[in-house]
Amino acid sequence: MTTRSRLLVLFAAVALLTAVAGIAVLRAAERAEEKTRARDGGPAVTRGPVSLDLGGEQRIAFRNMAWGPHRDELTTVPAARPDGPRTASGVNCLRFHAAAGTGICLQSGGRVAVLDVSLKEIAAHPAAGIPTRARVSPGGRLAAWTVFVGGDSYAGTNFSTRTSVLDLRSGRLEASLEEFTIHKDGRVYRAADVNFWGVTFAADEQTFYATLATGGKTHLVRGELAARTVSTVRENVECPSLSPDGTRIVFKKRVAGLPAEAPWRLYALDLASGRETPLGEQRSVDDQVVWTDANTVVYSLPGDFGADLYAVPADGSGSPRRLMSSALAPAFLGPR
């Protein structure tokens, strides 16, 4: 091949690659524009004041997943009208939770923002990973969050998490629960494969429950912040959520025979008796449920625009019902 022919081939290849790159950029721009364009038939979302105040009627604060200019913003609706018009705050959160007028907002770029009642940022901390779980204690003193530092799904075994707990009064940050002393089966336990996720707090603002994974198994652990210890309670418990009265935990349990990519069912655990009760939801739920009151829990399932929220009784009765479309990471504010 002559030098001229080689140059022609090179120029043609460069032109082809440039065209392909241009098409890719155009398609990416189209996808970005699509996210900011509201869809017909979707929920009405407008910018307005959003507060974590507990007064007045009960409201739901959540991450809005509806396509449009307010996608991923912290948004509220009245709890009595969950499919009604939404009010968007302008604050973007990938994971969110709130209690007692305090919010925790896991944002893109490895950042955790602590929000006051008016959604003003009062503190920020780094979080080196993909946001996955967030929880504020009932009295608003403590906040916990979990990120994936390796992998992006709990369904497999090839992942690594980091769970942090922040005391909002003292400012003390426990950067990783892996630094706590683990008591497993009555003995101090150490292992290189330890992972924690899914913290839920008790009303005393000191005790918490979480998931511990090690040796290919998961365990419910009970933790004490002051002592910096956790103790195993029960095997095969993930993403626990403590009831308002502190007597029950709803969690996701791996059930034999289900697909590897969708292995969970929701169960309720009575902490005093140890009795487990399967809930009425028959689909696999990969979420940490939120209690709306003493009788009902809410969780997310995949939806057309990312996620929808469903509610089901916590005593095993009834059937699930879709609460909201295009929503994720809810917190219930106001009287219960």
Q: What is the DSSP string of 112-159?
A: EEEE-TT--EEEEEE--SEEEEEEE-TTSSEEEEEEEEE-S-SSSS--
| Residue 34 predicted with pLDDT over 70 | no
More confident residue, 56 or 175: 175
The mean per-residue pLDDT over the stretch 35-56 comes to: 80
**pLDDT value at residue 39:** 54
**pLDDT value at residue 261:** 94
What single DSSP character describes residue 289?
Answer: -
CA-to-CA separations, 114 to 52, 106, 328, in angstroms, rounded: 12, 9, 18
The mean per-residue pLDDT over the stretch 157-184 comes to: 94
Which pTM was predicted?
Answer: 0.87
**pLDDT value at residue 130:** 95
| Residue 19 predicted with pLDDT over 80 | no
| Residue 4 predicted with pLDDT over 60 | no
61-72: pLDDT as tens digits = 999 999 999 999
Mean of the per-residue pLDDT values for the chain?
90
The pLDDT confidence band at residue 15, using thresholds 50, 70 and 90, is very low
* Helices (H) then strands (E): counts for the chain: 1, 27
254-287: pLDDT as tens digits = 999 999 999 999 999 999 999 999 999 999 999 9
The pLDDT confidence band at residue 173, using thresholds 50, 70 and 90, is very high
The one-letter amino acid at 61: A
| Residue 175 predicted with pLDDT over 70 | yes
The pLDDT confidence band at residue 14, using thresholds 50, 70 and 90, is very low
The pLDDT confidence band at residue 20, using thresholds 50, 70 and 90, is very low
The pLDDT confidence band at residue 157, using thresholds 50, 70 and 90, is low
The pLDDT confidence band at residue 243, using thresholds 50, 70 and 90, is very high
CB contact set of 5 (below 8 Å; sequence gap of 6+): none
CB contact set of 197 (below 8 Å; sequence gap of 6+): 132, 133, 146, 154, 161, 163, 210, 211, 213, 238, 239
106-139: pLDDT as tens digits = 999 999 999 999 999 999 999 989 999 999 999 9
CA 84 to chain centre: 23
* Of 54-58, 161-165, 181-185, 309-313, minimum mean pLDDT range: 54-58
The mean per-residue pLDDT over the stretch 30-41 comes to: 50
In which order are the strands placed within the sheet that holds 195-201? 187-189, 181-184, 229-235, 217-224, 207-214, 195-201
Residues above pLDDT 90, as percent of the chain:
81
The pLDDT confidence band at residue 1, using thresholds 50, 70 and 90, is low
| Residue 205 predicted with pLDDT over 80 | yes
Q: Residue 243: which of 273, 206, 207, 202 has the closest Cα?
A: 202
**pLDDT value at residue 158:** 75
CA distance 212 to 287: 16
**pLDDT value at residue 152:** 72
For the residues of 183-200, what is the DSSP string, one character each? EETTEEE--TT-EEEEEE
